[in-house]
Structure 1
Amino acid sequence: MQLDEVDRRILQVLSEDGRASYGAIGAEVNLSAPAVKRRVDRLRERGVITGFTIGVDAAASGWTTEAYVELFCNRRTAGAEILRRAETYPEVVEAFTVTGDADALLHVFAADMQHFERVLSEISAEPFVARTRSVLVLSPLLRRNNLIM
């Protein structure tokens, strides 16, 4: 779907405040509330908008340790198997199959270093994991929740 400038601006407003009313969005993009609703409905129907969520600051909710964990698997392990096991850890907020030496990359949050160490130990003990390599985040510099082109 081709997005025009108004669609992009609507997406930008919604990405900043998913609870914005159609009237408030309309004031930002110079459209009436009904016109904004029609556009949002069309963006949803075409799959551009997949849902409305909240953003949670992990550090503000007590999980101040953040890391990326590379998984190196014993054998050719399907992404579905990695996903199935990663979903059992609430500390894993994202999981990816990747190119390069590692087979997968996990984005992990924990309350502190002891919590992270425990989770890392549990992940490392998964039957398909040969080894892990971790990178701890010192300071997040940029986080974008939505890509608007």
Structure 2
Amino acid sequence: MDDIDRKLISALRHDARASLSDLALGLGVSRTTVRGRIDRLRQRGEIVGFSVVLRGDTARDPVRGLMMLGIEGRGADRIIRQLNGLSAVRATHTTNGRWDVIVEIGTPTLEELDQVLGQIRRFDGIAHSETSLLLNTRKSGR
């Protein structure tokens, strides 16, 4: 992948619906070059798809947070299953740092977030946790 490919991917991340003409103008190359590069990036698996972000997707969770969990013993798989069963849990991530699992949570209100946090803290095997509210998202894959 060269510099033009990286710039093309950056432009597509900003606006995946940009016309080939606009992309070509922004990159200083021809439309044919842009089309060929997009096709090549898709064939090589660098670009695996395009998505649509709806207004409702961004407004769905006015209160969002990341909860970092320390798990005692070997209960991580069980706890992740429990977490994924909660409607407020948007994603779970295993990690290799201080925390064993990072949980993305979204709720309509702070009170509901507090209830979810309390519920998770009561899971058998949760040794300690720390939660940070997400105040603003500047770039998201969704």
TM above 0.5? yes
How far off is 1:14 after superposition? Answer: 0.3
- Among 95, 106, 131, the alignment partner of 1:98 is 95
Specify which structure has the higher proportion of helix.
2
The percent identity for this pair of structures is 25
Work out whether residues 58 and 109 of structure 1, in 8 Å CA contact, stay in contact via their aligned partners in 2: no
How far off is 1:45 after superposition? Answer: 2.0
Q: Which moved more, 1:120-129 or 1:106-115?
A: 120-129
Aligned pair in 2 of structure 1 residues 99, 26: CA closer, same or farther (>3 Å)?
Answer: same
Work out whether residues 58 and 64 of structure 1, in 8 Å CA contact, stay in contact via their aligned partners in 2: no
How far off is 1:43 after superposition? Answer: 1.1
Q: Report the secondary structure of 1:51's partner residue.
A: coil
How far off is 1:131 after superposition? Answer: 4.1
Q: 1:73-129: CA deviations, max 9, x gaps?
A: 232245x55554443334333322223432111122221111212222333344443
Task: State how far apart, in whole Å, the 2-side matches of 1:42 and 1:111 are.
Answer: 42
Q: Tell me how many residue pairs correspond in the alignment.
A: 141
After TM superposition, list the pairs within 5 Å mapping 1:16-27 onto structure 2: 16-27=14-25
Q: Which moved more, 1:30-39 or 1:124-133?
A: 124-133
How far off is 1:59 after superposition? Answer: 9.0
Q: Which moved more, 1:37-46 or 1:124-133?
A: 124-133
Task: State how far apart, in whole Å, the 2-side matches of 1:46 and 1:86 are.
Answer: 35
Aligned pair in 2 of structure 1 residues 112, 50: CA closer, same or farther (>3 Å)?
Answer: same
Q: Find the counterpart in structure 2 of residue 134 from structure 1.
A: 131
Task: State how far apart, in whole Å, the 1-side matches of 2:23 and 2:97 are.
Answer: 43
Task: State how far apart, in whole Å, the 1-side matches of 2:23 and 2:125 are.
Answer: 48
TM-score, scaled relative to structure 2 = 0.76
How far off is 1:54 after superposition? Answer: 3.0
Q: Find the counterpart in structure 2 of residue 123 from structure 1.
A: 120
Mark the runs of 5 or more structure 1 residues left unpaired by the alignment.
none
Task: State how far apart, in whole Å, the 1-side matches of 2:39 and 2:71 are.
Answer: 43
Structure 1 runs, 4 residues or longer, greater than 6 Å off: none
After TM superposition, list the pairs within 5 Å mapping 1:1-149 onto structure 2: 3-55=1-53, 61-78=59-76, 81=78, 83-137=80-134, 139-140=135-136, 143-145=138-140
CA RMSD of aligned residues (A): 2.8
Task: State how far apart, in whole Å, the 2-side matches of 1:83 and 1:62 are.
Answer: 23
Aligned pair in 2 of structure 1 residues 76, 57: CA closer, same or farther (>3 Å)?
Answer: farther
